[in-house]
Structure 1
């Protein structure tokens, strides 16, 4: 209810209403493009490839693309190349001094890193497009000439490039994180078809009513849990000392620093899944080889013991990226310096290095709670699907991403409304 109230209040503000409408229009453009098929495809062969939900490891791509992958539309690659490129660039900031300097150069540094991410995304999109065209979807292509393969590769690459641009337009003129909202739009767009599919399974007898009830209970628990974790904060008390400037006295008030339990949001899940799917994508370059058999058996969530290897790696990567992304977005050194410069201190903690260490320790302890929760909810459906036959392998991931992005977007709306109130108060 609080979320709907925030959206309703934001819609009454002209500037925010314009941003919200712009965001919705961009999502409409995304959905229109998701239904434009790649030319020269035999759709009967394509339908047979994914009959009876036989997506396996490729369900992640279909999840991120909102069904565009299975239908082989111009947005079949979705934003996965951009996500992978973002991961690589973020990791380079730790490994290479040049990228570390860019990360510390402020706005100009971020612009250069964004440009590098774009170029890398295009390169990765070309590689993935070649893999799909010459590998997985080759038998569905009617005219199998080299020229036609090149055209399809360029179309898929152009689709990803357009989505990158679309996401940046949302960042600049809309509300929320553009790339996350595109993934969110793809997940939401599949809900009607998934409900219809589940209804058909229940009426056809392939899915029991008990399984359906268990899935609904699981979904409710995940939604409630992710909201609790996403909204959870640890408030660090801060006291500002009194100081005299001229004839006026400043400070003396108490406030707090809100540290979010899940500072990284759904980014760790997206990053972890993208990395786990990378070798499973490469294997389609080498069908009928030992590498293909190895990946299918040991790295695929549909393999044995691959399901356990996949689950363990998924947990480890989610926890790693949670700490990694939190370390990038939360800088205790800068917070400590700002507090010291303004005469602020945490009661019982000395300003300077002790404050930095205290903030780092608190963030590390509360982050592990959010990281473990995300890892369990993202991994448990894979194990349940493998051993119970209940098709919820990516159900938990879908709910986590959808709920997390919705909460982040509403939070941005609240922040923008708060800033407008402050500006209006100061201008009076």
Structure 2
């Protein structure tokens, strides 16, 4: 534990690393702030039914990925998921389309072109998803009185533009975190969104478990222990490496080589989970 705290203290002694951490935290705070900004023309005090509708099921998962922005009718309601979808589509299209296959083999220039294609495809996905989200608000329990200016085109068109711009801005934040911060920016945005809903989930779980005196508190303690074990195993899996031995012949003073068995042995660290 002492070594852990020493490592944390040493981080702030490295100016470049300290700057990257500050940039990362700052951009993540901007993303979390945007997730709380409600779309213009919607009364935020009447979104209780929307929060209940997006509390479970597939909508609950999407809401967790967006950090609650979906249930807040936020400017970041679509989150970063359109960009993830576009990236998956481009990767799959790279198998069947020769042009994309050629770009994948062109190195850095090809990667930049693929990233540009992914961005444009992200905008296309947002243009489809944004109106669908806005029109589904009523079905998700948002009353008509919550729409201050009604649900006409004078509300739909600006809201679609804002939602598309919100996703593009979130995508830009992720890329900036990757370039100027620490880690993969898109993954960090998703992680922060999930973590943001954890305190509320823990409180709800605690209340539901302790409502009846039937050993619910003990079950919750077991759940927390299992949760920590799963996290520990995931970390070990991501960090695990397999050492591939490499044998080098040792040079003698006369310039020749001795047998390999006399040489120095080194290892190539190969990640056990290459995708992690």
For normalisation by structure 2, the TM-score amounts to 0.84
Q: 1:284-303 residue pairs with structure 2 within 5 A?
A: none
2:135 matched residue in structure 1: 134
Q: Distance in 1 between matches of 2:249 and 2:109?
A: 35
What is residue 247 of structure 2 aligned with on the other side? 239
How far does the alpha carbon of each residue in 1:36-58 deviate from its partner, in whole angstroms, 9 at most, with x for none?
11122244553123338743211
Do structure 1's residue 163 and structure 2's residue 170 form an aligned pair?
yes
Equivalent in 156, 161, 169 of residue 154 of structure 1? 161
Q: Distance in 1 between matches of 2:229 and 2:72?
A: 32
Match of 2:225 in 1: 217
8 Å contact 2:175–2:185 — kept in the other structure?
yes
Establish whether residue 55 from structure 1 lines up as the match of residue 23 from structure 2: no
State the partner residue of 2:270. 259
Distance 1:95 1:33 in 2: 38
Partner of 1:284: none
How far did 1:261 drift? 1.7
The structure in which a higher percent of residues are helix is 1
* SS across alignment from 1:256: strand
Match of 2:208 in 1: 201
Aligned to 2:186: 179
CA pair 214-19 structure 1, distance change in 2 beyond 3 A? same
Partner of 1:287: none
Distance 1:253 1:261 in 2: 25
Q: Which moved more, 1:3-12 or 1:78-87?
A: 3-12
2:152: which partner in 1?
145
Change (3 A) 1:159 1:137: farther
> Which position in structure 2 is the counterpart of 1:392?
none
- Find the aligned partners of 1:211 and 1:150 in 2 and give their Cα distance: 49
Q: Distance in 2 between matches of 1:5 and 1:67?
A: 35
Distance 1:186 1:102 in 2: 33
Q: So what's the TM-score if we normalise by structure 1?
A: 0.56
Distance 1:56 1:43, change over 3 A: farther
Paired residue secondary structure (1:102): helix
CA distance in 1, matches of 2:9, 2:105: 38
Unaligned runs of 5+ in 2: none
Tell me how far apart the structure 2 counterparts of residues 24 and 192 of structure 1 sit (CA, whole Å): 19
1:6 shift after superposition: 4.3
Match of 2:79 in 1: 78
Separation (CA, whole Å) in 2 of partners of 1:211 and 1:87: 39
Quote the residue 1:305 is aligned against: none
Distance 1:25 1:230 in 2: 26
Q: What is the CA–CA distance in structure 2 between the aligned matches of 1:167 and 1:19, rounded to whole Å?
A: 14
Deviation of the 1:91 alpha carbon: 1.5
CA distance 1:144–1:53, shift in 2 (3 Å): closer
Correspondence for 1:300:
none
Q: Secondary structure at the match of 2:47?
A: helix
Q: Is the alpha carbon distance of 1:106 and 1:206 closer, same or farther for their aligned partners in structure 2, counting shifts above 3 Å?
A: farther
